[in-house]
Amino acid sequence: MEPFIVCPFEEGKNFSRENPEFTIFPLDIRQGINPWHDWQVAITLPRLAKAWDVEIIHAHGYKAGLLSLWAGLHNYRRYRLVCTFHNPLPNPSDILKNWATLTSARAIGRIVDHLIVISRFIEMDTIKRLHLPEGKVTCIYNGIDPVVAHELFDTGELKREWGVPEGRPLIGTIARLIPQKGIQYLIEAAALLKNEAFDFRMLIVGDGPFRQQLEELAVGVGVRENLLFTGFRRDIPEILAMIDLFVLPTLEEGMSIAVLEAMRAGKPVIASRVGGVPEIVTKETGILIRPADPKALAAAIQQLWSDAETRKRMGDAGREQVTNDFTLNKMAEKHYYLYKQLIK
């Protein structure tokens, strides 16, 4: 199979620079709903498929799946249509937005030949809520490169740059700064830790529209000097090598790459018991807590910091789990096997 990639213009430029061996078709794909541009992309896809004698169109996400629906309706098509859902289906809190997403998801589920999801949680939820046969949905976990030599990184320079004193507990999280990631509850947990005279530093790595509110919250609860908002960073392996604990207080999650990267770095994980998180964070690799619970977060952080042996055992188990179950090669092999089955 020889792949080619259809993506937005800007992503196409970046991808071409980093992956010159791939054929890229950049199209005017925009965020949100843009009827005219979306229609232009939708009618282009089956033309490309026919011209290149494509065997499989694989769309990633709800928007890409929606754009591919027109390709799925053509009677002459000799290709199979696949879509991956990377996120859980929405819940009913935002009625209008969620109705639109669910309607789109149901249309995608009916027309595609197969759906891929990235966790068992999403698999069961998708089958139930979209009324699909089990054989039409397959779970393929995200994978990462299992080999990064974290022990070779000199983390002292980063600690000096950020003013992190030696010997202080260093807690880290990596997330897009939006309300759904639950960082507000981690900041409230930091305030509880400080009130108990627990001296620590905390890295909040990432950026997003909720950053200003989070920084204001940190000032309001009196922990701004304990927290460092790093913004977007490219040196994630170095940062993970430096921290002692990784925390993901998310309120919803399909399958967290950040958690996998922390486990690969040999770090114990504290995370919310939501979505697909319990499928990777177990009692052997970390601690699961109720979502939106600052007291539980603070207690878990103190528990792990007080027990170096448990931290080491959990970190080693996490690294082994990533190596065994969550590699890029394993993910690619499962996709390849599914593609072959669909073509047959």
Q: Could you state, in chain order, the average pLDDT of each consecutive group of 10 residues for the chain (344 residues)?
A: 85 83 88 87 92 94 91 85 92 70 89 97 95 96 90 83 89 97 98 95 97 98 96 94 96 95 97 97 97 98 96 97 96 96 91
Q: What is the pLDDT of residue 299?
A: 97
Q: What is the pLDDT of residue 3?
A: 86
CA distance 15 to 18: 5
Closest CA to 45 of 22, 74, 16, 84: 74
Q: What is the pLDDT of residue 94?
A: 64
Report which DSSP code applies to 32.
S
Report CA Rg, the chain: 22
Report which DSSP code applies to 104.
H
Q: What is the pLDDT of residue 92?
A: 61
| Domains defined along the chain, listed by start | 4-143+328-343 (3.40.50.2000), 150-325 (3.40.50.2000)
Closest CA to 253 of 138, 133, 118: 118
Q: What is the pLDDT of residue 93?
A: 64
Backbone φ and ψ for 229, nearest 5 degrees, come out as -90, 110
Q: Residues for the chain: how many in total?
A: 344
The three-state secondary structure class of 322 is helix
CA distance 215 to 323: 36
Residue 331 host element (H or E): helix 328-343
The three-state secondary structure class of 250 is coil
CA distance 94 to 88: 14
